[in-house]
Amino acid sequence: MTKKKQIHLNGFVQNSPSPHSTGLWKHAKDKGIHHNRLQYWTETAKVLERGKFDAVFIADVLGTYSKYGNSHDAAVRNAVQLPAHDPLMPITAMAAATEHIGFAPTISATYAQPYSLARQLSTLDHLTEGRVAWNVVTSYLDSEAINLGLSGRMPKELRYDRADEFLEVVYKLWEHSWEEDAVVYDRDRDVFADPEKVHGINHEGEFFQVPGIHLTEPSPQRTPVLFQAGASPRGRDFAAKHAEAVFTKGHSLEALRNYSQDLRRRTVRQGRNADDIAIFPMVLPIVGSTEEEAISKYEDLQSHVSYEGTAAMLSGHTGIDFSQYDPDQYIEDMETDAVQGNLDMYTKDPNKKWTLREAIKNHGLGNGTARFIGTPEQIADQIEEWVTVGDADGFNIAQGYSLETFREFVDHVVPELQKRGIYRTEYEGKTLRENLFGRGSHLPDNHPARKLGVRVES
C-alpha cells in the first residue's frame, strides 16, 4: 500500500501575551502573560514535541501597532503584540528541554544586517544541533522603520530588493565561506582550521558590502531551513526563488487552492520543482468532545476578543487607519505597502463583502485565519481536505488561549491524524530539514544558494 501524504505541523507563537488572538490574555485559561519566563517556553516546546510537531514557529515585530488613530494607546491598553519581546532568546532554553523539535524565528531582512544575522542563526544551528529555521519577512509597520533610524517604511519593492541581496550575502557566508573540511583540529601541526579553505565572500552589491569570512564554522544545516511569509505578487516571487516553505493565511479552502497553484507555478518558473516549496496555511483549531462543545468554546473565546485592540491590529496589518472609518463601511480593495494578504482576506473574498465591523470581529481570533471547529474527527477531516484540495503540506497551528489550544490539539487531534496514517508517530531525522523534507540536512543542489561562489560538499 502506498504511504499517504504526510502532513507537518508548527506551533505558531510570538514572544508576547496572546499575540494572535487579541484580548485573550485575560481568559482564565490563558498563560500568555508568562511569556517573559523561561518555563513558559520550555513548557511550550515540550507540549509540541510530545505532539511530534516539526517546529515552534515564532512571529515577531520590531515596533508598535500605532497606525490606528496615530497612537500606540490602543495597542498598549489591549496588548496588541505588545510587549514584543525578542524571538531568539528563548530558543536555547527550549532546545535544552527537548531533543527533536525545531525552531523557526521570524527576523526581518529589512532591518537586520546579513553579516551579524548569519552569525546569530549559525550559532543557534550549532547549539540546537541543526534544528533552526528562519522565517524571512520584510516587515510592515511604520513604527519599526521610524525607531530604527529611517523616516518611514520603505516601499515594498525596495524592501524585497534589499531582502533578495540580503539572502545572497547570507548564502555566501553560510554555504561558501568555510569548506566542509576546513576545520582540522590538528594538534600535531598546531592548526585549528586551514586558512586555504576559509574564504572571504567579497560581496559588493547595491545594499551591502561584505568582504569578510563567516564568523562561525559550518553548522549542521549550514543554511537554516528557509521559511517565508509574504503574499503580494512580489512576495510570492521572492518565496518561489528562495523559500523551502511558506507560511500563509486565509479563511477559505478556495483561496488556499488558488494560492498554492499560483505559488507552485512561480516556483517552477524559478527553475525549481513545484514540490520544492512546502505550503503551511495558518489554522486555529477549536476542539470539543462534541460539535456543540466546540462551538460553545468558540463563542467563549470570541467573547474575550478586544474590539479596539483588533482594530489597531488590523490597521497595522493593512496600513490603513481604521479609526477614521464607519464600522459599517465596506473595506475597499487597494494595494498596500503593509501586508497585502491581510487586506485581500477582506477585499478579495469571492463569497462575501466585509464591513469593517465584521472584519474586526473575524481578525481578533487567530488573526482572522481559518478556524477548524469540531470534534477531533471533524478537525482531522478538514485537515485532510486542506491537504488534498488546497494542496497544503502542513499547518501553522495558532492558539485561542495559550498553551491550552496546543495541549488540546496534541491530546485529541494528533492521535486521530496518526490513526489515519497521515502524521508521524516518531521523528524521522535529526535535523529540522531532515524531518520536514525527508532528505539531507543541507539545501538541495537546485536551490540558488548552492549555485553561488565556492562549492561545498554535501
Ligand X SMILES: Cc1cc2nc3c(=O)[nH]c(=O)nc-3n(C[C@H](O)[C@H](O)[C@H](O)COP(=O)(O)O)c2cc1C
Give the footprint of ligand X on this chain (CB under 6 A): 59-61, 106, 108, 137-140, 156, 229-232, 235, 247-249, 339-341
E-assigned strand segments in 30-144: 55-59, 102-108, 133-137
* Backbone CA torsion sign across 107, 109, 112, 113: positive
Smallest gap from Cβ 11 to ligand X, in A, equals: 14
Query: CB of residue 318 vs ligand X: minimum separation in angstroms?
Result: 10
Beta-ladder partners of 163 = none
CB of 109 to ligand X, least distance (A): 9
**Smallest distance from the beta carbon of 162 to ligand X, in angstroms?**
11
H/E run at residue 41: helix 38-50
**Number of Cβ within a 10 Å radius of residue 83:** 12
Residue at grid coordinates 517604511: 153
**What does the block give as the cell for 445?**
543542489
Residue number with CB closer to ligand X (138 or 216): 138
Residue whose CB is nearest to ligand X in the complex, by number: 235
Q: Which is nearer to ligand X, 139 or 378 (CB)?
A: 139
Least distance to ligand X from the beta carbon of 333, Å? 14
Residue number, 231 or 294, with CB nearest to ligand X? 231
Q: Which three cell numbers stand for residue 255?
A: 483561496
Among candidates 287, 290, 247, 257, which has minimal Cα distance to 396?
247
CB nearer to ligand X: pick between 116 and 296: 116
Instruction: Quote the least distance from Cβ 65 to ligand X, whole Å.
Output: 12
Compute the distance between CA of residue 305 and CA of residue 414 in angstroms, rounded to an integer. Answer: 27
Measured from the CB atom, the residue of 145 and 311 that comes closer to ligand X is 145
Q: Which is nearer to ligand X, 229 or 380 (CB)?
A: 229
Helices (H) and strands (E) in the chain, counts: 16, 13
Residue 131: exposure state from Cβ atoms within 10 A (0-12, 13-18, ≥19): buried
Taking the least distance from each CB to ligand X, the nearer of 72 and 222 is 72
CA distance 290 to 292: 5
Non-local (6+) Cβ contacts of 436 within 8 A are: 8, 54, 55, 102, 225, 244, 245, 278
Residue 102 or 235: which CB sits closer to ligand X?
A: 235
Q: How far is the CB of 319 from ligand X (least distance, A)?
A: 10
In angstroms, give the least distance from the CB of 212 to ligand X: 27
Closest-CA residue to 282 (of 206, 211, 201, 368): 368
